[in-house]
Structure 1
Amino acid sequence: MAIRKDDIRVPNLRFPGFEGEWEQRNLKELFTIGSGRDYKHLSNGDVPVFGTGGLMTYVNEFLYDGESVCIGRKGTINKPYYHKGKFWTVDTLFYTHSFKKALPKFVYYIFQKIDWLKYNEASGVPSLSKSTIEKIEVYIPKKDEQEKLMGLLSALDGRIQTQNKIIEELQTLMQILTKEIFSRKLRFKKADENVFPEWDKTKMGDVFEFKVTNSYSREKLNYSEGIIKNIHYGDIHTQYRTLFNVEKEHTPYINLEVNTNSINKESYCQVGDLILADASEDLKDVGKSIEIVNLKDQKTLSGLHTILARPLKNIFAIGFCGYLFRSEKVRQQIQKEAHGSKVLSIAPVRLSKLTLPIPTLIEQTLIVDFLFSIDEKIEIEKVLLKKYHVQKQYLLQNLFI
């Protein structure tokens, strides 16, 4: 591709053989905007119904049949998506049709480059109107150049889709194998090929002690400077891996102006500690946990809405509790002990009642090594996926005006 920086109406990157400026057009000149409608009177069928969050259900009639790019009218207004074929959209989602001068898939990539939130018309729930969308100005090349650009970006989209599928399949495999291991259907053997003995069972309260945590809000945390890192329950829900390695996790510091002198030494995290989120609006996430496996001398605290559980020495192999507390058998017990209506919570006194299966230390180590190898593979594939997304953003930025 040739580099072009001499004209603001020519993209920075361009395929060889294409010359001339791109035309400036209002979106109204490129397509017609259609409005979604209620679908609840329709019967079940094979026609997809889309909302701002994606696929909702299937019905027996269609609102439009063909290529279309959809964009939110209300709510999620910044996530366009492309569909080809019959479909129905709800009233919070616009769809496009009757394309002129621009190919539908090319419009899809234009939509991905537009900063839709900049055109938000509401102070509360984000919203867009047809008239606002129609006035947005974009630049477009001739259709043969559109085809070339579509081919490149579509190929990259295909790779992203494949990569997402690889990750989903590995995550499913991880769930299946974890269930098989902790239900004893999949068993490990000793070096002499004999199976390990039956697992002991004990109450969590007999093998863990609970330490004091803090309640620092996000306002008292930052990601740029500090001495003490702080694990927030929200990050346990959304981003941390099962086995927490401080060198690999994006964890905030406590602001330097916060006085931490009164914090007891025993309250600082140690390798092997289990940290659980004590609250969630969703039953499946209440008591979600991580195990600390590497701190690299970094002072770290267990923060807001967390429970810090420290195991007794010489009972658990490092990493085992992380996987044990993600297993179905333990998760079901935590969910039964959770209480609350809108927000569910779990407390140390209730966690103490949990019955934990405990294999020998050697078998624990084999289990950790086996499951961690799959976790690592998932993370490698996620890094690759992120690179594809970065590549796509670069191309959108430089192939389009």
Structure 2
Amino acid sequence: MAIDNKDKKVLNVPHLRFPEFSGEWKKYSFNDIAQYKKGPFGSALKKEIFVPKSADSVKIYEQQNAIKKDWELGRYYISRDYFINHMQQFIVEAGDIIVSCAGTIGEIYELPPNAVSGVFNQALMRVRINATLIDKNIFIKVFSSMIDSFSKIYSNGSAIKNIPPFADLKKTNVFLPTQNEQYKISRLISLLDERIATQNKIIDKLQSLINGLNDSLYQQCGNGIMTSFSKLGQSYSGLSGKSADDFGTGKPYITYLNVYSNNVVNENDYQYVRISDGEKQNIVKYGDVLFTLSSETPEEVGIGSVYLGKSDVYLNSFCFGIHITDTKVVFPPYLSYYVSSTPFRKFIYPYAQGSTRFNLCKADFEKARIKMPSLENQKRIYFILSHIASKVETETKLWDLFKFQKQYLLRQMFI
């Protein structure tokens, strides 16, 4: 049970603290608690970089993979001879901390125990902590907070493009408790992270259950109706005639990412666009099914989402909608599961056209014949899957609460 120091006249201690600890925290600079190394400039690697992986090559860890937290998928390599002769100071190994230093700064990742040794490029920084002074979990938390603080100072309200002046960062002071108290705080952080990870697995398994049942129930009931989207309703385009100045205020519209990411449009994730009185723009109505028009891969063309809101909203210009009029044949809420089913995704692939970027052949897609369950079975499937989806929603809210609890505790347990 933590004690509250908020009203106590003790200097350099956090608001919340485990009761068995007392005394002030000691002051250190970031230069005291870790060693930092930024990657070599691109010109130092440029002539030696190649793509194919071989047994006689060394991986280059990249900024792109840092942002995605997918560090083991590095695409570029250098020869082992060049690594041995020129890159020894830029080695990164299992257990090292890597920080992104350009573009989206401050992404922090610890290389796992099975990570492959390699080198890091100029967009990254390697950090090796002084384990006698600071616990790694504590360092990541404190360092991340400090990066956020510097970002606000040096961005001047705009998107920051590079890490703050490194000399300033290293000179910045931080207060730390004893190793025993750090261990206790670190253990709390780990327990919170484990609970959040467990909650995330619960959500993933429920979502997998929905996906599996969706396909299974469609296989059982999917031959009840032969129809097409052109028979089920009328298609319409998204916003037209808009410039960058029109966005940011005004009336709500559904973004491309909202359609792409959700089977049912997220009504808490609208953006806004200026619409003049009397301006002719298509309005999204309840039950409309929306599709993305293009993507970098054919598998992701025509991703669908259904709008089940009651308010009139608009649609982004990179999607199109179909207003369902034949409700005697189709139950619109069921479409949120139908358009994400494996059979439908396979059905839509052939209508993606292009080479470097793929676009949906809208006219052919709308006329193509589709197989759907009977109206009664559509309602039955929706009833089953929507109950599990409600469980997912509940578990997701719990996941958010755990994350909020962690952030609150950590804010109170550090100076």
TM bracket, shorter-chain basis: 0.7 to 0.9
Cα displacement string for residues 11-55 of structure 1 (whole angstroms, at most 9, x for unaligned residues): 12122132222222111211223567999877499x997852434
Match runs of 1:90-105 below 5 Å: 90-91=119-120, 92-105=124-137
Report the Cα offset of residue 244 of structure 1.
Answer: 3.5
1:375 to 369, 389, 398: 389
Q: Is 1:386 matched with 2:409?
A: no
Aligned to 2:413: 399
CA distance 1:124–1:141, shift in 2 (3 Å)? closer
Q: Which residue pairs with 1:204 in the alignment? A: 229
Question: Are 2:146 and 1:114 equivalent residues in the alignment?
Answer: yes
% identical equivalent positions: 21
Question: Does the residue aligned with 2:322 lie in a helix, a strand or coil?
Answer: strand
Alpha-carbon distance change, 260 to 399 in structure 1, aligned in 2, over 3 angstroms = same
Determine the structure 2 residue equivalent to 1:3.
4
**Corresponding position: 1:252 with 2:265:** no
- Conserved in 1, the CA contact under 8 Å of 2:225 and 2:373? yes
* 1:180 aligned residue (213, 216, 223): 216
Any stretches of 5+ residues in structure 1 without a counterpart? 188-195
SS of the residue 1:339 aligns to: strand
Indicate whether 1:20 and 2:23 are aligned. yes
Note the alpha carbon deviations across 1:315-363, whole angstroms, 9 max, x for none: 1113122211112222233332123444433253132133311221110
* Segment of structure 1 superposing worse, 282-291 or 47-56: 47-56
Per-residue deviation, residues 264-293 of structure 1 (Å, max 9, x unmatched): 7xx433222111222333433322221122
Q: 1:338 aligns with which of 352, 359, 371?
A: 352
Q: Which has the higher helix share?
A: 2
Q: Distance in 1 between matches of 2:111 and 2:351?
A: 44
- Aligned residues: CA RMSD: 3.6
Work out whether 1:261 is the aligned partner of 2:306.
Answer: no
Which letter maps to 2:238? T
CA distance in 2, matches of 1:198, 1:58: 42
Aligned length: 376
Residue 299 of structure 1 is matched in structure 2 by 312
| Structure 2 partner of 1:77 | 105
Is the Cα–Cα contact under 8 Å of residues 74 and 93 in structure 1 kept in the other structure? no
- Deviation track 1:140-195 (CA, whole Å, cap 9, x = no partner) reads 1111211121121111011011112222222222222222233x1xx3xxxxxxxx
The answer to which of 211-220 and 334-343 deviates more is 211-220
Q: Which 10-residue stretch deviates more, 345-354 or 9-18?
A: 345-354
Correspondence for 1:242: 263
Matched, 1:364 2:381: no
Per the alignment, in what secondary structure is the counterpart of residue 346 of structure 2? Answer: helix
Letter in 1 for 2:138: F
CA distance in 1, matches of 2:283, 2:203: 34
Q: What residue number does 1:192 align with? A: none
Once the two structures are superposed, what CA deviation does each residue of 1:60-91 show, in whole Å capped at 9, x if it has no partner? xx967775433224454322234563533541
Aligned to 2:325: 312
Q: In structure 1, what is the Cα distance between the partners aligned to 2:263 and 2:228?
A: 22
Counterpart residue identity of residue 308, structure 2: V
Q: Which moved more, 1:64-73 or 1:315-324?
A: 64-73
CA contact (8 A) 1:201 1:358 kept: yes
* Amino acid of the structure 2 residue aligned with 1:311: I
Structure 2: how far apart are the matches of 1:198 and 1:20? 73
Q: Give the corresponding residue for 1:137.
A: 173
Tell me how far apart the structure 1 counterparts of residues 139 and 299 of structure 2 sit (CA, whole Å).
39
Kept after mapping to 2: 8 A contact 1:171/1:378: yes
Would the aligned equivalents of 2:34 and 2:127 in 1 still touch at CA under 8 Å?
no
Q: Does 1:230 align with 2:253?
A: yes
Counterpart of 1:306, as a letter, is C
Q: Report SS of the residue matched to 1:333.
A: helix
Contact 2:265 2:308 (C-alpha < 8 Å) held by counterparts? yes
Range with greater deviation from structure 2 (117-126 or 389-398): 117-126
If the length of structure 1 is used for normalisation, what is the TM-score? 0.79
- Taking the aligned partners of 1:370 and 1:105, their CA distance within structure 2 comes to 43
The answer to whether the aligner puts 1:271 opposite 2:286 as a matched pair is yes
Distance (whole Å) between structure 2 residues aligned to residue 262 and residue 54 of structure 1: 44
- Secondary structure, counterpart of 2:367 in structure 1: coil
Please, which moves more after superposition, 349-358 or 113-122?
Answer: 113-122
Distance 1:281 1:58, change over 3 A: closer
Whether contact under 8 Å (1:23, 1:139) holds in the other structure is: yes
Matches of 2:305 and 2:222, distance apart in 1: 27
Over 3 Å counting, the alpha-carbon distance change for 1:48 and 1:259 in structure 2 is closer
